[in-house]
Amino acid sequence: MEKLDLDPQLITHFERVYIHRDSWDSQVARRVRHFFSPNKIECVTQLPHSQPAGNHLSAEEFNLSKKQLYIQEFKGRFFKRCPGAKPGLTCCNYFVLNLGIQCNMNCTYCYLQSFINSPFLTIYSHIDQAIEELRLFASKEAEAKIRVGTGETIDSLSLDDLTLYSRNLISFFKEVPQWRLEFKTKSNKVQQFLDIEHKGNVIVSWSLNPQAIIEREELGTAGLIERLEAARKCRDHGFLVAFHLDPVIWHPDWKENYSQLVETISYYFKSHEVLNLSLGALRFQPEQRHMMRERFGSKSYVTNAEMFRSQDGKYRYDQDLRKEMFEFIMQRFKEKGSWNVFLCMETKESWMGAMTALPKSIPDLDAYFDHRPLAAFREHRRNSRSLQPSELSEL
């Protein structure tokens, strides 16, 4: 067993831990049993509780789900294309590896509120199977420019000092130096993997917002300076660093606060030390609006925002407001150096309005939007086995 320490706050955060019998001797379960009191742990052979009535969690049930940990095997596919790859949006050719679902942090705008129906924070125990899926695809596309992220349905690093999955993944990515692995987080937990040898193809990225927004909308997350200090540690150990100003949230002092955010980022990093920097405006699914209001009331800028249905079905700010915010922030970065900035999950209209060009015509961004790896992935999925109807939408 790895001797790496565990954040004591994580031990107190979880009120109850359920481990499925099939996962009892897994890597993550062994660490849970080592650090947590036996009184908190229960070995189970099925879900400890039934699914909620109507297949939806109430606000109270959603809050409680963050404090109940369930460790089990995952019966589906770990490796998928980014859910942002939808008609009408300009996709950056990103793939995801889902190693769990739910988050121990508490952002007001979290998109997990739109679909989670399990009363647990779940960690999938068989990391070896996830890596085997990557290895199978790599056997055909090892030279492709593939980017794989682990932060879609669970924060990449907020529980990583418990799972240590970062160590497994970094070790595998040494086998595919053309690929890039991205950990995306709002935590400052990086110490657990800094000693691992790597090939310079591991990106550690942070979602950043002004401290005022972090305190109001990103509850239970690391502060801005804590995130940037953790990013410095990663840089000093040869890891690539990236930032995501996403979601950009309108509020009365948004210009002042985002200007200060750019100043702070520029103080900690020179532009050449940051691989890329993405911008994305606040957006959310219609299904989560009621949940957000029930959980956070009127104190949140998110629940009070004036939003409009976009062509992808999500609520977004008006196109003109998004353009104004993107242009303002990009201009602040231009004043601080030559930053590699792109838009995340945005329409062609937003690209033309804020960037004056589409990504394929912008130097240093065209490789991110090359669709050949996505086409190869679709072919791989079709040939690997017969797809279930629910998986057809992933192609």
In a domain, 279, yes or no: yes
pLDDT single digits (tens) 71-125: 999 999 999 987 655 555 555 568 999 999 999 999 999 999 999 989 999 999 9
Residue 215 and residue 251 in contact, taking contact as beta carbons nearer than 8 Å: no
Q: Between residues 84 and 314, which one has the greater pLDDT?
A: 314
Whole-angstrom distance, CA of residue 350 vs CA of residue 210: 23
In a domain, 214, yes or no: yes
Q: What is the percentage of the chain residues whose pLDDT exceeds 90? A: 75
In a domain, 2, yes or no: no
Q: Between residues 370 and 132, which one has the greater pLDDT?
A: 132
CATH number reported for the structural domain that contains residue 280 in this entry:
3.80.30.30
Domain encompassing residue 106: 78-118+126-394
In a domain, 130, yes or no: yes
Domains contained in the chain, number: 1
In a domain, 382, yes or no: yes
Q: Which whole number is the average pLDDT over 204-217?
A: 99
For 139-182, the DSSP string reads HHHTTS--EEES-SSS-SSTTHHHH-HHHHHHHHHTT-TTSEEE
In a domain, 332, yes or no: yes
In a domain, 14, yes or no: no
In a domain, 46, yes or no: no
